[in-house]
Structure 1
């Protein structure tokens, strides 16, 4: 399904003129070798472009549409018209001159095979270059002097003749396309993507720009050990993919990964998405709606457009009209040595995904502190909540990002690992942030939706957007009471460095019977002290304590289980936010 979807997307991009046809692809090139009719190297010109990286402007290779490069393993394999100095000149700084000579010989043989008999001055000049070039003379050639060090370090080189790029010559382009289609060396078979018979690609082109993977590229389809092979087949012949389909899916995926504005990171996963009909407006909208990516629209505008799309109404976005019924795909990849692992692959209509995102945000909705700048919590923020921010590695667990994204976009239950991670962080840090409270609320709300009944230990009356003063859940009331007791202590001791939360929060939420009698007695002393300084505030807090204690009764629970602790934590969060909001209103 992944390869079929990417192949279809490639065909859409070719029809739109965004990508070239089979046999061509984007290649980075740094220098142009200008040659004469007799093959003499006359001049070397840098074709690098200035790019802003961070605050610095640097020279970077120019990306041009050139003959598609081969995927190299340990063997020698030349590229047509553009390659590094080891292949083009027969010399480099890798310390193995014999291999460089072998690379040059392979490059010479390829160009001779493709260009022999081509009626073009550019083709004849290029053939003359390979006939007359002496690799041993590379270090002494005056035309190479200015850029020699960079050229020998692996920069890609291409050719110019009579002021024009050789790869732009129509006759040379036709010759390359004939050669690419012929491919008499590849075995034949039925392509598992297209269902057509033809040459089967044994080694697929490399996928580049996946975070953490090799810079030279990694394989999405790969068989690297006999244990993975069947019926005596080798390499990718075990999953026969036609030469066209192998080129098409890798070209489409590399195009998506090269578009840095619409590539997203979630944990160790690199995420790309695309609409079957093409156009990057769908990607931009999806990134803004779920992943918190910047857009020229406000959060309110995005919510309004999302609501329209969920009703089946097309909307205008970035000068494009978004079709709610457009097929939309989301692919998450993570590095695995020289290969890529598929973390997740999701397919739905654009409207279907947005409906699930809308439901997710509804479950997450919770009162937010005034200092919190996020109107809605993007998914990367949720993934940060179970992470120890003081640890050296602040990345979420490898599988968590994929599990959470799948749950959101498929509208299924959130992973238990997310809940357990949040519970562990609250216990360790004794802090209930907006994100953690929202995760608790969303997890148990979705659990109730999927089972058809509320959880007895964390009922609907607890899972509200803000404080529910009428809730009678004991764990919730204990959380509220703890917040009031903390406020009493802070009011009686202005500027105090540590409150009861730092010492007692974990114990109070797990074993209330052992902790709350101590805290209530302590609060009586704090009230007495506060009464002398601010009688009105003392009376107000005493009234809150009395009200909550009367609802709780005479006995505290001996233990609270995990869902009950969630109710406690939500009660604490809501009571604390209600107090802060009251102060801000004053």
Structure 2
């Protein structure tokens, strides 16, 4: 996984160097050529949180702690100008002094910084700067940087390169001081897991950002952490347990941050990061379009009452199929050797949690995406069409009432089922089955995603040998559980035709028992229908119902099962739903014929 992340960095040309990092800046403090304060520029525009500078100076956390330093050029307003709610504490005064001291030290390379450092040490000047920031409603934690006027335009120091060499030398001097304090540098060298070279392992790792909405910290999380004694092995300390050079650690972190920022989607409590081994056109990017669809970033699992439009359904079904055909026929040779990579991650109190890692050929991805939609397809509630495209959020929401209740491991498991074509675990199907049962008993509208989920579970359950199960009523299935579900639907239709709306009918009162122990319930319900309901129905419709019941019972090779397994209960639910949908379709057709 880490090697593929590094390869992505090299392919895309990510500029990664220890001591540098991209940062967002909100406020620009502008000074004149003499170092006097001029004005403040707000970089915030629209929804952007400021302006991003790609190569800002940055200390590691350990460097800041061990040397009692603050960041150079870019830091928070309370550190730069002592913008605090109350009187500054001694620590805040020390942090400000450290920031100004670095500016003064860097004046050997950039002379303009000397006068600015002098201004930031003057209380009168600081008061003027704080007054303007307060009027602009700046917060103590907002990031600031500095600039000097050159003619009519500000020279933003962090956007220049003339300080880079000084900065590298300064950080190197800190590292030399630490090495001299050690007894033997060579004795501390280990084999880097990523480069294979003998290196002095980085003691700590850089922070991975962008996971605060999935359990991570706003300050960032580390991929490998050894801050507890139990995390160590064989007497190794900190980073020695997973030896990587400072350069490799920085490269992995920067690459992962770039992927999270540009090629990731949030799925409930996780983020899925995805990329390819070569550039892919937007219209060919199956992971960003077909699987995710129009997945929202908020925790919602609603599905439209009428389902996706016909255009959406055809587009979703054909895109993966067309790409697969093109690859297999040689028309898209550019995709033949293309690989996909998918990383599912979340955060947990400062640590990055890797939930899943997948990689494979683009051809297998196209095949599995097509299969995902095929397996989830289900006849619509009204029996008029087949629903083929389900939002991934709706598929996840099939298991729970609220997506915020969805455990992260479950998301990773279902994501793997979509991309790798793996079977759906029985515990997930049991959750959906419970929701379907509650919908039926509560007389709620059936959710397409839930029934499609159950069909996919049956199709991918190889020992059932039902991989060819159709989206609508399947007359080729003679499984007793499936037939019992269809019989239950016919009994409900008989009662509806005989008595109309009676409130709590046969479905609401007996569905739960019939779907688990049909042998104890169906016989009694059939007798009730024969004695109390069928005699009240007119001849033609009555004959139709009797014919349906006779046909279904005649196909039952054994008596109704005493108890049903999870797979059998799923077949019962599908038989009931598909039979009901067929009934609605025939009813609609009958009404249309009458109108003609």
TM superposition score normalised by structure 1: 0.83
Task: Single out whichever of 64-73 and 568-577 deviates more from structure 2.
Answer: 64-73
Change (3 A) 1:314 1:206: farther
Which residue of the partner structure matches residue 395 of structure 1?
A: 405
**Alpha-carbon separation, structure 1, partners of 2:353 and 2:125:** 42
Query: Within the alignment, does 1:134 sit opposite 2:146 as a pair?
Result: no
Give 1:412-427 correspondences, 5 Å limit.
412-427=422-437
Query: Within the alignment, does 1:263 sit opposite 2:264 as a pair?
Result: yes
Which residue of the partner structure matches residue 224 of structure 1?
A: 227
Deviation digits for residues 22-77 of structure 1, max 9, x if unmatched? 644331111111123343333222222122xxxxxxx7322222315445489454
Which residue of the partner structure matches residue 492 of structure 1?
A: 498
Which residue of the partner structure matches residue 134 of structure 2?
A: 148
Task: Single out whichever of 511-520 and 283-292 deviates more from structure 2.
Answer: 283-292
Give 1:533-552 correspondences, 5 Å limit.
535-552=539-556
Give 1:513-524 correspondences, 5 Å limit.
513-524=519-530
Query: Within the alignment, does 1:530 sit opposite 2:537 as a pair?
Result: yes
Unaligned residue ranges in structure 2 (runs of 5+): 180-188, 297-310, 591-596
From 43, 46, 63, the equivalent of 2:52 is 63
**Alpha-carbon separation, structure 1, partners of 2:175 and 2:484:** 77
**Alpha-carbon separation, structure 2, partners of 1:305 and 1:336:** 37
Deviation at 1:302, TM superposition (A): 4.7
Change (3 A) 1:42 1:216: same
Give 1:294-333 correspondences, 5 Å limit.
298-311=312-325, 313=327, 323-333=335-345
**Alpha-carbon separation, structure 1, partners of 2:37 and 2:51:** 21
Change (3 A) 1:312 1:232: farther
From 49, 56, 65, the equivalent of 2:45 is 49
From 148, 169, 173, the equivalent of 2:164 is 173
From 71, 83, 106, the equivalent of 1:79 is 71
**Alpha-carbon separation, structure 2, partners of 1:476 and 1:518:** 19
Deviation digits for residues 531-575 of structure 1, max 9, x if unmatched? 3xxx43233222212322333479543222222222222211221
Which residue of the partner structure matches residue 31 of structure 1?
A: 27
**Alpha-carbon separation, structure 2, partners of 1:329 and 1:13:** 15
**Alpha-carbon separation, structure 2, partners of 1:286 and 1:517:** 49
Partners of 2:31 and 2:116 within 8 A in 1: yes
**Alpha-carbon separation, structure 1, partners of 2:416 and 2:423:** 9
From 444, 453, 458, the equivalent of 1:439 is 453
Which residue of the partner structure matches residue 301 of structure 2?
A: none
**Matched residue pairs, number?**
548
Deviation digits for residues 233-264 of structure 1, max 9, x if unmatched? 433332222222222222222222223xx432
**Alpha-carbon separation, structure 2, partners of 1:92 and 1:485:** 73
From 555, 559, 566, the equivalent of 2:563 is 559
**Alpha-carbon separation, structure 2, partners of 1:258 and 1:509:** 47
Partners of 2:481 and 2:560 within 8 A in 1: no
**Alpha-carbon separation, structure 2, partners of 1:174 and 1:37:** 23
Find the residue that maps to 1:425 and give its secondary structure: helix
Change (3 A) 1:348 1:39: same
Query: Within the alignment, does 1:410 sit opposite 2:420 as a pair?
Result: yes
Deviation at 1:80, TM superposition (A): 2.1
Which residue of the partner structure matches residue 56 of structure 1?
A: none
Change (3 A) 1:302 1:136: same
**Alpha-carbon separation, structure 2, partners of 1:9 and 1:183:** 31
Deviation at 1:373, TM superposition (A): 9.2
**Alpha-carbon separation, structure 2, partners of 1:274 and 1:336:** 24
**Alpha-carbon separation, structure 2, partners of 1:554 and 1:200:** 69
**Alpha-carbon separation, structure 2, partners of 1:554 and 1:203:** 67
Change (3 A) 1:68 1:427: farther
Find the residue that maps to 1:171 and give its secondary structure: coil
Deviation digits for residues 427-447 of structure 1, max 9, x if unmatched? 444366433333333223223
Unaligned residue ranges in structure 1 (runs of 5+): 52-58, 449-453
Find the residue that maps to 1:209 and give its secondary structure: coil
Which residue of the partner structure matches residue 214 of structure 1?
A: 217
**Alpha-carbon separation, structure 2, partners of 1:234 and 1:554:** 67
Which residue of the partner structure matches residue 349 of structure 1?
A: 361
Deviation at 1:108, TM superposition (A): 3.4
Query: Within the alignment, does 1:375 sit opposite 2:388 as a pair?
Result: yes
Deviation digits for residues 250-308 of structure 1, max 9, x if unmatched? 2222222223xx4322231111111233567389431212122379x955345434234
Which residue of the partner structure matches residue 108 of structure 1?
A: 100
Partners of 1:386 and 1:418 within 8 A in 2: yes
Which residue of the partner structure matches residue 157 of structure 1?
A: 144
